[in-house]
Amino acid sequence: MLRISEYSTMAEEAIRSITLPGGDLENLYAPVTYGMQAGGKRLRPTLLLMAADAFGKCPGKAIDAACGIEMFHNFTLLHDDVMDNSDMRRGRPTVHAKWDANTAILSGDTMLTLATQLMMKVDDSILRPVLDTFNSQAIKVYEGQCLDMGFETRQDVTLDQYIEMIKGKTGALLGGAAKIGALIGGASAEDADRMYDFGMMLGIAFQIDDDYLDTFGNADTFGKPIGGDINNNKKTFLMTKALSVGDSHSDALRIALDMPAGPGKVKVVSKIYETMGIPAICKAEVAAYSSKALAAVKATSLGDAEREAFRKLIDKLTGRSR
Amino acid sequence: MLRISEYSTMAEEAIRSITLPGGDLENLYAPVTYGMQAGGKRLRPTLLLMAADAFGKCPGKAIDAACGIEMFHNFTLLHDDVMDNSDMRRGRPTVHAKWDANTAILSGDTMLTLATQLMMKVDDSILRPVLDTFNSQAIKVYEGQCLDMGFETRQDVTLDQYIEMIKGKTGALLGGAAKIGALIGGASAEDADRMYDFGMMLGIAFQIDDDYLDTFGNADTFGKPIGGDINNNKKTFLMTKALSVGDSHSDALRIALDMPAGPGKVKVVSKIYETMGIPAICKAEVAAYSSKALAAVKATSLGDAEREAFRKLIDKLTGRSR
């Protein structure tokens, strides 16, 4: 196995070498390239390449699929930014802001088909299972986004419903990336399914950690302004957990939700979370899902070196709050 | 071969029997069902079923792919209605109007993946060529839509550029439907490509005929208000042809484009078209592309009965202006 950073560099280079038509079609494809070149951790293609290497010592064979999974992820970002009316992402204007909503919709649609085409660059023998995995994770992502949009107007979201939502929005794509990489590496159907579980559990751990950092993280290392979720009354793990307790603190939180957005609201809500012990609960949940992710890898036929590589990946992704 | 109406009834019944999840996901899937149950001619699945029957006497084997091609078509309608800010389609509120733009975007995305899943219900032996055809027609549709959006702000669109645009927006999907049906029916690669050409030429003929009817059709049988394209300064075949002549009539037309929308504008522009002989030119073009479509079918290994069925389809689709 290579170092994690070496897989992400491989992915980054392949993504940057994608060339698309220009000319009269500049308006369709320039936003695709712009979206793809936003950088970021390249987590999904990195995981896909790692899984292919772990099972088949063939990260190179998986490079198109790695680009495909990142293309899919960026398609969802283009459309999410239209739906959320977001103007900035990773320090740059979104496609929706730099061009317009119609361009973001149409270029996003194009990215979904381009992603499928990239995903199809696998051997005939695994074409169907790879595409079945790709399509079913896509459906789960849309379902997760639908649940998330529905949560905006609700205050009765249960923890189970929250977990169901992030399984779709975050877990399914990581699960799909790990499973597709495993399939390309020649893993058995059982091992590929376990790798799906690995990605899914990793995704849940990662999302809860991300929710934690949005309130209690360090603005310099987190990369986003702290308190954004609180100001948007977002149904995060923290909020859902705190509201579900049903004690006087939950009542206080419900009142705080009506405060206007601003540093005051962030301070009040953070304080309630701290009083309720939410930060420690978050960390325990992140640890629990990380353990489940590791257990899934251990249930495969992979050896110690590969297990260790995936353990490091979990650590890298969920260790930010420590 | 069956009658054309029998294929469309088969398609209609299969489309109406598609069941999707509800519950918490009602907001995601109800618009999909709503979009799919809008009725219409079911032209694309009908063509797909006809091609499968022509080559393999197996329309039933193609029923999932037929639903898939209609699902794809309806996905583009959901997104087009957001992009055009259209509130009505086929006498009903659009998804964008009945729910909202975000719902139309997300349910549309879901339809594209559902369409791919339906398309995958073919034998392994033709999975790759079927999906390659499906994906490449999808890309052409997006490219056509991109060109069409670019035309809105231009008055120098050439006839070649117009044809390129409708090849994407209308031709590619009909070409894809015919080719996929042929592949499912067991056609050779060469015959399948000829059927793509058939669908493509039929699509161009159909679109020019549709452009003609939007100005010179009968409101009762056309199903849309007459003159909509003129009032929207749409770069139709008629407009593109008339502007490209470059004589005094073209100059008069350019001035008329600045008139406010309304019956007066429709009357003035129609009169200019008539003076320039545009209606006859339209009919000649429709006839020319219809001949090309028929020639493509004749170049296949199909017998007389099948050729005759496709000739009737051309006649049905382009005979509306006679």
Nearest to B127 among A117, A127, A145 (CB): A127
The tokens for A103 are: 């361009």
pLDDT (0 to 100) of residue B322: 55
Nearest chain B CA: its distance from A321 CA (Å): 32
Instruction: Determine whether the interchain pair B135/A150 forms a contact, defined as Cβ–Cβ distance below 8 Å.
Output: no
Number of cross-chain residue pairs from A and B with Cβ atoms under 8 Å apart: 101
Q: Find chain A residues with C-beta within 8 A of B79's C-beta.
A: 105-106, 109
- What is the mean pLDDT of the segment spanning A179-192? 98
Instruction: Determine whether the interchain pair B24/A147 forms a contact, defined as Cβ–Cβ distance below 8 Å.
Output: yes
pLDDT at position A320 over 80:
no
Instruction: Determine whether the interchain pair B106/A116 forms a contact, defined as Cβ–Cβ distance below 8 Å.
Output: no
pLDDT (0 to 100) of residue B154: 87
Per-residue pLDDT reduced to its tens digit, A84-127: 999 998 889 999 999 999 999 999 999 999 999 999 999 999 99
Q: Find chain B residues with C-beta within 8 A of A64's C-beta.
A: none
The closest of B205, B227, B224 to B216, measured between CA atoms, is: B227
- What is the mean pLDDT of the segment spanning B285-304? 98
Q: What is the DSSP letter of B90?
A: T
Using alpha carbons only, how large is chain A's radius of gyration in Å?
20
Lowest-pLDDT choice from A224-228, A260-264, A279-283, B126-130: A224-228
pLDDT at position A68 over 90:
yes
Mark B266-295 as b/e (b = at least 16 C-beta within 10 Å): bebbbebbeebebbebbbebbeebbebbbe
Nearest to B139 among A24, A79, A110 (CB): A110
Nearest chain A CA: its distance from B82 CA (Å): 8
Q: Find chain B residues with C-beta within 8 A of A124's C-beta.
A: 128
pLDDT (0 to 100) of residue B223: 73
Nearest to A28 among B105, B132, B143 (CB): B143
Instruction: Determine whether the interchain pair A106/B79 forms a contact, defined as Cβ–Cβ distance below 8 Å.
Output: yes
* CA–centroid distance for A114 within its chain: 20
pLDDT (0 to 100) of residue B173: 98
pLDDT at position A40 over 90:
no
Nearest to A28 among B28, B138, B142 (CB): B142
Instruction: Determine whether the interchain pair A113/B135 forms a contact, defined as Cβ–Cβ distance below 8 Å.
Output: yes
- What is the mean pLDDT of the segment spanning A25-37? 97
Band the pLDDT of B321: cuts 50, 70, 90. low
pLDDT (0 to 100) of residue A227: 93
Instruction: Determine whether the interchain pair A146/B28 forms a contact, defined as Cβ–Cβ distance below 8 Å.
Output: yes
Instruction: Determine whether the interchain pair A142/B83 forms a contact, defined as Cβ–Cβ distance below 8 Å.
Output: no
Band the pLDDT of B153: cuts 50, 70, 90. confident
Cα distances from B147 to residues A197, B98, B177, B235, B308, in angstroms, run: 43, 28, 22, 11, 35
Band the pLDDT of B299: cuts 50, 70, 90. very high
pLDDT (0 to 100) of residue A46: 98
Q: Find chain B residues with C-beta within 8 A of A150's C-beta.
A: 24, 27
The percentage of residues in chain B with a pLDDT greater than 90, rounded to a whole number, is 92
Residues near A86 by beta carbon (within 8 Å), at least 6 away in sequence: A80, A94, A96, A97
Question: Could you give the 3-state DSSP secondary structure of residue B89?
Answer: strand
pLDDT (0 to 100) of residue A322: 55
Per-residue pLDDT reduced to its tens digit, B205-236: 999 999 999 999 988 877 778 899 999 999 99
Q: Which of A95, A109, A123, A167 to mutate to test the interface with B (most CBs of B within 10 A)?
A: A109
Instruction: Determine whether the interchain pair B24/A82 forms a contact, defined as Cβ–Cβ distance below 8 Å.
Output: no
Nearest to A79 among B25, B105, B132 (CB): B105
pLDDT (0 to 100) of residue A319: 82
pLDDT (0 to 100) of residue A38: 87
Residue type, B313: L
pLDDT (0 to 100) of residue A240: 96
Per-residue pLDDT reduced to its tens digit, A137-173: 999 999 999 999 999 888 899 999 999 999 999 999 9
Instruction: Determine whether the interchain pair B25/A146 forms a contact, defined as Cβ–Cβ distance below 8 Å.
Output: yes
pLDDT at position A199 over 70:
yes
What's the angle, vertex CA B228, arms to CA B226 and CA B234, rounded to 5?
135
The overall pTM is greater than 0.95: yes
The chain A residue lying nearest B30, using CA atoms, is A146
The chain A residue lying nearest B23, using CA atoms, is A147
Q: Kindly give the pairing relationship between strand A92-93 and strand A88-89.
A: antiparallel
pLDDT at position A223 over 80:
no
Q: Find chain A residues with C-beta within 8 A of B145's C-beta.
A: 106
Q: Which of B28, B84, B127 to mutate to test the interface with A (most CBs of A within 10 A)?
A: B28
The tokens for A227 are: 């308190």
Nearest to A149 among B83, B102, B113 (CB): B102
**Residue in this structure with the two tokens 């999975």, named with its chain if needed:** B127
The chain A residue lying nearest B121, using CA atoms, is A128
Q: Find chain B residues with C-beta within 8 A of A114's C-beta.
A: 139
Strands (E), B151-201: none
Band the pLDDT of A209: cuts 50, 70, 90. very high
Among chain A, residues having any CB pair with chain B shorter than 8 Å are 24-25, 27-28, 79, 82-83, 101-102, 105-106, 108-110, 112-114, 116-117, 120, 124, 127-128, 131-132, 135, 138-139, 142-143, 145-147, 149-150, 161
pLDDT (0 to 100) of residue A321: 57
Q: Which of A29, A32, A105 to mutate to test the interface with B (most CBs of B within 10 A)?
A: A105
Q: Find chain B residues with C-beta within 8 A of A147's C-beta.
A: 24-25
Tell me whether residue B307 is exposed, middle or buried, using C-beta atoms within 10 angstroms of its C-beta: 0 to 12, 13 to 18, 19 or more: middle
Nearest to B79 among A109, A124, A143 (CB): A109
The percentage of residues in chain B with a pLDDT greater than 70, rounded to a whole number, is 99
Residues near A211 by beta carbon (within 8 Å), at least 6 away in sequence: A229, A236, A237, A238, A282
The percentage of residues in chain A with a pLDDT greater than 70, rounded to a whole number, is 99
pLDDT at position A77 over 80:
yes
